[in-house]
Structure 1
């Protein structure tokens, strides 16, 4: 497996593993995000778009920081996943594979939060994280097209 990988794929793997380590830290251990093990109060949301609507509706009273952290943070947090997957895996060059992997990774994180009562299980996070993975995938596609056009000009 390692012999057949390109230099870019190896670098992609290193960056992807670093991204996953940071993701795990922020999802489960970052006290600044309310991941304190002493606080066992736990909540979950199974109603689609409930928290998205709530954060949007009360964005002025909650503050723009809370709005951006929840809504934009979930999307941006998964963009590297969708960006690096096509680099490290030939299978992930297909849209549906990257979509499925992003969704499954998000589901694993949410289930882990549910089981260990860290953070909160939220169906909206599944949607936002998967959306972030897809935006990362499309960003990768755009970058690749720009790279190909530049090579053709030379």
Structure 2
């Protein structure tokens, strides 16, 4: 539970307060959004050399990696969350909340690609949990 709280606090910091992750100056805040799927993913892929490896990695993989703990930790702390569907739904819902807050507060950008990548991260976290749980049960001889 402590790990989950720390994860949420770090997520809030990186998504809303960290200057190094796409936040813009107070006087430059405008509504920015992308509603077309895969536009930003494709743009970062096509211009990966121009934007730099760090920006490419943070945009594409950072969105996935940032939500892996959600998909892994929730089923660990509660048996009620041991459903892949619930994890994917919670990843999508949390991501939608984050993107909406970013749009309304004009901190960052509402991006449908982030919804896709964040949801994929939560799903990947659940798959990682399921594999680890399967191996744990198999190792200790529990019924699967």
The TM-score, its normalising length taken from structure 1, stands at 0.87
Provide the C-alpha distance between the structure 2 equivalents of 1:34 and 1:51, rounded to a whole number of angstroms: 14
> Match of 2:69, SS?
helix
Match of 1:101 in 2: 90
The answer on 1:64 being equivalent to 2:42 is no
1:28 corresponds, among 8, 13, 16, to: 16
The answer on 1:15 being equivalent to 2:3 is yes
**Which 4+ stretches in 1 moved above 6 angstroms?**
none
Aligned length: 141
Aligned-pair distance for 1:33? Answer: 1.4
Aligned-pair distance for 1:36? Answer: 4.3
| Unmatched runs of 5 consecutive residues or more in structure 2 | none
The answer on 1:147 being equivalent to 2:136 is yes
The answer on 1:130 being equivalent to 2:119 is yes
**TM-superposition CA deviations, 1:24-66 (whole Å, max 9, x none):** 0000000111324524144210011100000011111111111
| Unmatched runs of 5 consecutive residues or more in structure 1 | 1-12
**TM-superposition CA deviations, 1:129-153 (whole Å, max 9, x none):** 0000000000001111121122139
> Match of 1:35, SS?
coil
CA contact (8 A) 1:80 1:136 kept: yes
Provide the C-alpha distance between the structure 1 equivalents of 2:50 and 2:123, rounded to a whole number of angstroms: 31
Provide the C-alpha distance between the structure 2 equivalents of 1:149 and 1:134, rounded to a whole number of angstroms: 22
Provide the C-alpha distance between the structure 2 equivalents of 1:115 and 1:85, rounded to a whole number of angstroms: 28
